[in-house]
């Protein structure tokens, strides 16, 4: 079932503006689209975002990659003026997110992590509502609506009630809505979470197509394969950015090949590998060892494992390896962002139930 947002959309994103978004100068191409300096957010005793700094260039597809609770949504909420920073600051489209919140809102589109369309209205009615909210000139609404609905391939469903849409269709309509007022920067918070692989791939087709429209895209994801599509990725963990670069450069930082092992007893195997000095980590599927040259290391690894070896696979570093390199654990859904030790504890507790 879709997760509908509990806070009315109009309360969260209303834009009170004397001027139309498109009538405002789009600013210099040289200036970063987003500039963030030491941005932090504290909720009581929780440091959700711990002083992050980064820039996003105009036209860039920039991804925030991180496990549950990393602070991705909190950062987006601050950049979209929905949450006030506890410290630090940021500018979006050249405007300060606190002092010039209205100017920021005029220039951004946002797809929330939770669904915010009205299920009782048709696709067209939802878009018209948004057009009023953003003061899109009435004469321009039909053409813009057709353009965005075509972009997400929903033109033939414009008169259907959203309650009859699949999760993927709702997400695509939300993207269309976010583009209706021609924002300079589009924020997508987990645009594909909960969608089946085919719909995810369709969504990505739409996202990549938006780049043709000269829109800067800032998205969050915890899917490693999706982050690969980004020009640059900021890896976030526990409210901090642990690395930020292109996918290729991030993988080069690992500086090692990964060897995945499945054994008859991974605990014993890990102990023997650690004793032999191998950089060994527990994964959801077995063990992973990082070595400078995977092919050359295989015979040594086989000799070092004291138990029956059931599988061995050598591969070049992936973004998962990058995450492990910087945090010491996997970003896997099933891991829930837990450390290897925490995962072991969880496994033990679960098996004791």
In the complex, the residues that contact Mg ion under the rule CB under 5 A are 72-73, 113
Partner interacting with residue 2 (select from Mg ion, ligand ATP, none; CB below 5-8 Å by kind): none
Query: Does 46 contact ligand ATP by CB under 6 A?
Result: yes
Q: Which stretch binds ligand ATP (CB under 6 A): 41-49, 160-168, 268-276, 312-320?
A: 41-49
Residue at shortest CB range from Mg ion? 73
Binding mask 56-75 for ligand ATP (x = CB under 6 A): ----------x-xxxxxxx-
Q: With respect to ligand ATP, which residue has the nearer C-beta, 61 or 70?
A: 70
**Shortest Å distance, C-beta 69 to Mg ion:** 8
Q: With respect to ligand ATP, which residue has the nearer C-beta, 44 or 277?
A: 44
Query: Does 48 contact ligand ATP by CB under 6 A?
Result: yes
- Cα separation, 103 vs 108, in Å, equals 9
**Shortest Å distance, C-beta 253 to ligand ATP:** 22
Query: Does 4 contact ligand ATP by CB under 6 A?
Result: no
**Shortest Å distance, C-beta 196 to ligand ATP:** 19
317 within 8 A of 296, measured Cβ to Cβ: no
Q: How far is CA 303 from CA 54, 267, 298, 300, in A?
A: 45, 16, 9, 5
Q: Which stretch binds ligand ATP (CB under 6 A): 40-48, 54-62, 197-205, 242-250?
A: 40-48
Q: With respect to ligand ATP, which residue has the nearer C-beta, 67 or 317?
A: 67
Binding mask 216-245 for ligand ATP (x = CB under 6 A): ------x-----------------------
**Shortest Å distance, C-beta 189 to Mg ion:** 6
Q: 3-state SS of the chain?
A: CCCECCCCHHHHHCCCCCCCHHHCCCCCCCCCCEEEEEEEEEECCEEEEEEEEEEECCCCEEEEECCCCCCHHHHHHHHCCCCCCCEEEEEECCEECCCCHHHHHHHEEEECCCECCCCCCEHHHHHHHHHHHCCCCHHHHHHHHHHHHHHCCCHHHCCCEHHHCCHHHHHHHHHHHHHCCCCCEEEEECCCCCCCHHHHHHHHHHHHHHHHHCCEEEEEECCHHHHCCCCEEEEEECCEEEEEECHHHHHHHHCCEEEEEEECCHHHHHHHHHHCCCEEEECCCCEEEEECCHHHHHHHHHHHCCCCEEEEEEECCCHHHHHHHHHCCCCCHHHCCCCHHHHHHHHHHHHHC
Question: How many residues of this chain interact with ligand ATP, rule: CB under 6 A?
Answer: 13
Binding mask 95-124 for ligand ATP (x = CB under 6 A): ------------------x-----------
**Shortest Å distance, C-beta 30 to ligand ATP:** 31
Q: With respect to ligand ATP, which residue has the nearer C-beta, 42 or 57?
A: 42
Query: Does 43 contact ligand ATP by CB under 6 A?
Result: yes
The contact set with ligand ATP (CB under 6 A) reads 43, 46, 48, 66, 68-74, 113, 222
């Amino acid at each position: 079932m879709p997760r509908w947002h509990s806070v009315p959309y109009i309360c969260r994103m209303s834009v009170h503006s004397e001027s139309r978004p498109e009538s405002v100068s789009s600013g210099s191409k040289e200036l970063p689209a987003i500039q963030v300096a030491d941005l932090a957010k504290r909720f009581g005793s929780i440091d959700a975002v711990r002083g992050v700094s980064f820039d996003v260039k105009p036209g860039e597809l920039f991804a925030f990659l991180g496990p549950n609770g990393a602070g991705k949504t909190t950062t987006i909420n601050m950049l979209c003026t929905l949450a006030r920073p506890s410290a630090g600051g940021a500018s979006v489209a050249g405007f300060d997110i606190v002092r010039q919140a209205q100017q920021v809102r005029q220039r951004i589109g946002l797809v929330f992590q939770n669904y915010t369309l009205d299920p009782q209205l048709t696709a067209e009615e939802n878009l018209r509502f948004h057009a009023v909210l953003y003061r899109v000139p009435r004469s321009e609404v039909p053409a813009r609506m057709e353009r965005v609905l075509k972009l997400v391939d929903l033109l033939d469903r414009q008169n259907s009630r959203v309650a009859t849409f699949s999760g993927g269709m709702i997400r695509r309509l939300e993207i269309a809505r976010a583009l209706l007022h021609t924002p300079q920067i589009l924020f997508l918070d987990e645009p594909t979470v909960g969608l089946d692989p085919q719909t995810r791939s369709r969504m990505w087709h739409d996202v990549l197509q938006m780049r043709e429209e000269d829109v800067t895209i800032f998205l969050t994801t915890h899917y490693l394969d999706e982050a690969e599509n980004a020009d640059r990725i900021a890896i976030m963990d526990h409210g901090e950015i642990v690395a930020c670069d292109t996918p290729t450069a991030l993988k080069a930082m690992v500086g090692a090949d990964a060897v995945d092992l499945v054994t008859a007893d991974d605990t014993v195997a890990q102990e023997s590998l650690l004793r032999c000095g191998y950089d060994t980590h527990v994964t959801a599927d077995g063990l992973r060892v990082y070595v400078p040259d995977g092919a050359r290391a295989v015979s040594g690894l086989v000799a070092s494992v004291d138990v029956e070896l059931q599988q061995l696979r050598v591969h070049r570093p992936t973004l998962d390896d990058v995450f492990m390199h910087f945090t010491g654990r996997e970003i896997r859904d099933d891991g829930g962002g837990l450390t290897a030790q925490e995962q072991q504890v969880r496994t033990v507790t679960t098996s004791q139930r």
